[in-house]
């Protein structure tokens, strides 16, 4: 039986999705596990350069990412998806498509996300230069029943990793391998 999962990191822009996913990728890879990290910003440029940020195009992008994640999963990799994925229905569709899916909600107040924003996206969204920006001019539907919720404004990256690993210990038949 397969022991790998898709870990789907969702939350507002600048809530810590990429930071935590990259740290987890490093940890899993150091343990000898095959892992793929799928980042929303990167995939927008390669997988979905034809799409904008309308609700319809966001749904299409999330579907594309979930198809790619399912392929990596089937090939035996752990898959870490860091994607705002603001709509519950899109995340539910991804869950159905993928199956071995763990939703990780990185909860963080929008004010803290704005403070973390080194690219100036929130400022641009508030001034109207960026339209359909999640948390400002577009909605973010918080997950109702995520497997893991992490308050990234209250705990460190390491504590976040510890919380994820603690959850994984409850669903895996064997502990994650130790560092090789």
The answer to whether residues 127 and 102 touch, using CB atoms and an 8 Å cutoff, is no
Residue 127 known to be catalytic: no
* Conformation bin of residue 17: beta by default, left when phi > 0, alpha when psi is -120 to 50: alpha
The 3-class secondary structure across 79-106, one letter per residue, is EEEECCCCCHHHHHHHHHHHCCEEEEEE
Residues 107 and 34 sit within 8 Å (Cβ to Cβ): no
99: left (phi over 0), alpha (psi -120 to 50) or beta: left
User: Rounded distance, CA 131 to CA 68, Å?
Assistant: 27
> Alpha-carbon distance 96 to 101, whole Å?
8
* Catalytic, out of 48, 85, 137, 156: 85
7: which strand partners? Answer: 80, 102
> How many C-beta atoms surround the C-beta of residue 177 within 10 A?
11
By annotation, the residues acting in catalysis are 85
């Amino acid at each position: 039986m397969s022991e790998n999962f898709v870990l789907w990191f969702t939350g507002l822009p600048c809530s810590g999705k990429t930071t935590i996913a990259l740290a987890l990728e490093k940890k899993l890879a150091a343990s000898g596990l095959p892992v793929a990290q799928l980042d929303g910003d990167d995939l927008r440029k390669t997988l979905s350069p034809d799409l904008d940020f309308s609700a319809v195009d966001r749904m299409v992008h999330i579907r594309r990412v979930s198809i790619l994640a399912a392929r990596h999963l089937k090939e035996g990799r752990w898959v870490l998806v860091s994607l705002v994925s603001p709509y519950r229905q899109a995340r539910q569709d991804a869950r159905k498509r993928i199956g071995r899916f763990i939703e990780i909600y990185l909860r963080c107040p929008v004010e803290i996300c704005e403070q973390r924003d080194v690219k100036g996206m929130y400022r641009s969204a508030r001034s109207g230069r960026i339209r359909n920006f999640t948390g400002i001019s577009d909605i973010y539907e918080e997950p109702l029943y995520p497997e893991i919720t992490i308050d990234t404004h209250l705990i460190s990256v390491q504590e976040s990793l510890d919380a994820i690993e603690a959850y994984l210990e409850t669903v895996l038949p064997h502990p994650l391998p130790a560092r090789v």
